[in-house]
Structure 1
Amino acid sequence: MEIPAEEPRFFQVEPLEGESLSHFLGRFRRENYLTATQLGKLTGIGAVISRWEKFYLNPFPTQQELGALAAVVEVKVERLIEMLQPLGVTMKPRPIRLCGACYAEVPCHRIEWQFKEKMKCDRHQLRLLTKCTNCETSFPIPADWVQGECPHYFLPFATMAKRQKRC
């Protein structure tokens, strides 16, 4: 008698308000002890996961790709689309930007920070940061934000708000 193979089960990760897809994918992978390559294999979309984590969204994710991801992460396709830039908005994948004051409120990378025309936080009227305020190291991709701090100086992102300039 053959025992049917069970579908893999994963810890569910709820998306945060305004969170970027890169940050969400990193949180999901860490919670489930997966690499980008493993998640790509599970979804059947391969290296696309790694590209999305780096904000390389050209070509833009298809409904089929988002559907495959949604089936694994158990998040609706519509919610995944909210983690991407709206149609007609250009992204700037580098440098990675953040508002320390926003991060202190909700510790996640927001997709709007990577919009090409976005240079300040509309909520706090602060210039977005592109590097650590102490060591000037550029921020890594949000998928790699494990502790929410500079990977070299270990200064928490939330603390950096004190040194953000007003706009």
Structure 2
Amino acid sequence: MKNEAEDVQAWMEYVEPYEGESISHYFGRLRREEANSVSAPTTLSEAAGIGPALSRWEKFRFNPFPSPKELEAMGKLVGLTVEQLRAMLPAQGERLVMRSMRLCGECYRESPYHRIDWQYESTEGCEKHRLRLISRCPACDEKFALPVEWVEGACKRCGMKFTSMAKRQKPY
């Protein structure tokens, strides 16, 4: 008889993480992958045997911080190494901005995914594009949703594309 982890693995298509991608964005993208039929974080968490941990991680709640055992169990389930998963988490000693999600519209235009370092309190702006990070839609002032929910890459309220927001960002 197959166990739950084997059942979930049979439904899963491997998804390569992007460099610097946040764990929230990655798992949203993984679950939306056309070949994957797992829509809830609890299904993955339970199949990995780590309780509700993934739901917390997708909301950037890392208290307690993911243990090596949890990362190993989740990595085995989705085909990633502990190091790949750890790269999607905040670096040691980095505090996160929790009141809102942040992004650089120009980075998102070049590669449409959420970077974990955008959430660091120590990150004031995008070093590459010399733009301040934004946390609200410049058109309607709506806070950005969690990256796990970034299906269209646009504001959930007015639909303004993240890719067009760079022209509204202030210089850094």
Amino acid at match of 2:2: A
TM-score of the two chains, using structure 1 as the length reference: 0.94
Q: How many angstroms does 1:44 deviate by?
A: 1.2
Moved over 4 A (4+): none
Q: Residues 1-80 of structure 1: matches in 2 within 5 Å?
A: 4-5=1-2, 7-8=6-7, 9=10, 10-31=12-33, 32-33=36-37, 34-80=39-85
**Aligned position for 1:147:** 152
State whether residues 133 and 163 of structure 1, in contact with CA within 8 Å, keep that contact through their aligned partners in structure 2.
Answer: yes
- Alignment counterpart, residue 117 of structure 2, candidates 112, 118, 123: 112
Alpha-carbon displacement from aligned partner over 1:22-45 (angstroms, at most 9, x marks no partner): 100111122223211211111111
Shift of 1:93: 2.2
- Is there any run of 5+ residues in structure 1 with no aligned partner, and where? none
- What does the per-residue CA deviation read over 1:62-100, in whole Å, with 9 as the maximum and x for residues that have no partner? 000001110111011101111111111112222100000
Question: Which whole-Å CA distance do the structure 2 matches of 1:100 and 1:27 have between them?
Answer: 19
- Identity within the alignment, %: 46
Q: Return the alpha-carbon distance in structure 1 between the equivalents of residues 53 and 2 of structure 2.
A: 26
Q: 1:164 matched to which residue of 2? A: 169
Mean CA deviation greater in 30-39 or 140-149: 30-39
Query: Is the 1:29–1:39 contact (alpha carbons within 8 Å) kept by the matching residues of 2?
Result: no
How many residues are matched?
Answer: 164
Unmatched 5+ stretches in structure 2: none
TM-score where L is the length of structure 2 = 0.91
RMSD of aligned residue pairs (Cα, Å): 1.2
| Aligned counterpart, 2:140 | 135
Point out the more displaced range, 104-113 or 25-34.
25-34
